[in-house]
Amino acid sequence: MPRIYFLDNLKVFLTVLVVLHHAAQPYGPGGGWWIVSEPYSLVDYIVLGIFMAVNASFFMGLFFMISAYFVPSSLEKKVATKFMKDRLAKLGVPILIFMIGVFPVMGYLLEGQPSITLGHLWFLAMLLIFSAVYAAYWLVKKPSSKTKRAFPGNATILAFVVVMALISFIVRIWAPENRWVLFGLFEPFHLTQYVMLFAAGIIAYREGWIDTIPKATSKLWSRVAILMVILLLVIGSVTNSTEFSGGLKVASLLGSFWEAFMGVSMCIALLALFKNRFNSQGSITKALANDTFTVYLIHIPIIVLLQYLLIGIAIDSLVKFAIVGAVGIPLVFAISHYVIRRLPYAKYILG
């Protein structure tokens, strides 16, 4: 399948967001991080909290959607067994390397005992599972794309959002935010969105939707995304975010609807924006796109090291976040490009 430049560029943008999200982790209301959270002011809490909430509402879901978009074309070129062997090599080998070699060492150095966790590679594990499920479906019923359907209307998109919100709310009654299961394999809190957007990515490929988002649709849902951010700014500055983190309560229901609207609208808005404005590629952007998978793999140890070096320095948490982000982003891309991807046999896994 030929490269789709705007999706390459969108993946670079999302990867940078992931690095920044983890750069913010110890300096705001993130929690559950390698470095113990440092003291932060109310301003730090609100600014970084809003930044992280907006990110969490869409960026990994959009990653699943983009990844799913390329699954059918891979299956069309390969038999299902060859497809899964390639998936195991690309996704499974890094998981083993980090679970056996990297995370235990990080845990020992930072916490005094080895850490057995998937860490941020939960995404790879879930992508492997989703790919295996679709490959099995492909074996049973090879889908046909002969008859293309038009891009969904706003009523269909709205129904998709409502279903996502309601199922998410039901799941969150028993699985509140930041509850990870099976050695950190997944967080049920966001699972509904990931499954539905992965399915949407596959359907988008089969129906040819990625290139046909109507201008009126993208404009409407871009406005919805802006409205959701404004709503978060207002509510986030006057309420405790834990009220929306799950359980059988109205706040959790409202939070589920906010996240569904925010996530889906951001997916549509960003896909349309990058298709219309960032649909070209030079040598630098091509190199950055080629490095995104490696950057995702290796950025955690590098970001955590930078955060560790700033412990005890008497500067504002927002400044520390800015330093870690400004240094960390070019550093992880440089190490990915000039070191990791040039290791022997790396191309068989990293591409």
Tell me the pLDDT tens digit for each residue of 35-81: 776 667 777 878 888 899 999 999 999 999 999 999 998 988 888 88
- DSSP label at residue 210: T
Question: What's the pLDDT at 186?
Answer: 72
Q: How far is the C-alpha of 86 from the C-alpha of 16, rounded, in Å?
A: 26
Q: What is the pLDDT of residue 114?
A: 82
Q: Which pLDDT value is given to residue 16?
A: 98
Cross-strand partners of 309: none
pLDDT at residue number 271:
97
What parts of the chain have a pLDDT lower than 50? none
> In Å, what is the CA distance from 298 to each residue of 23, 102, 111?
13, 10, 20
Domain spans of the chain? 5-350
Q: What is the pLDDT of residue 262?
A: 97
Estimate the crossing angle of helix 283-309 against helix 103-111, to 10 degrees.
30
> pLDDT value at position 239?
64
* pLDDT confidence of residue 348: 80
Q: What is the pLDDT of residue 66?
A: 97
Report how far residue 92's alpha carbon sits from residue 189's, in angstroms, rounded to the nearest whole number: 24
Task: Give Rg (Cα) of the chain.
Answer: 20
Tens digits of residue pLDDT in 98-109 = 999 999 999 888
Cβ(87)–Cβ(128) under 8 Å?
yes
At 177 the pLDDT is 72
Count of Cβ atoms closer than 10 Å to residue 217 Cβ: 17
263 in Cβ contact with 179 (< 8 Å): no
Contact criterion met (CB below 8 Å) for 285 and 12: yes
Distances (CA, A) of 92 to 49, 65, 131, 177, 295: 32, 20, 12, 26, 16
Give the pLDDT score at 145: 61
Q: How far is CA 99 from the centre of its chain?
A: 20
Interior CA angle at 189 toward 92 and 247, to 5°? 155
* Position 55, amino acid: N
What is the reported pTM? 0.92
pLDDT the model gives residue 144: 65
Q: Residue 31 gets which letter from DSSP? A: -
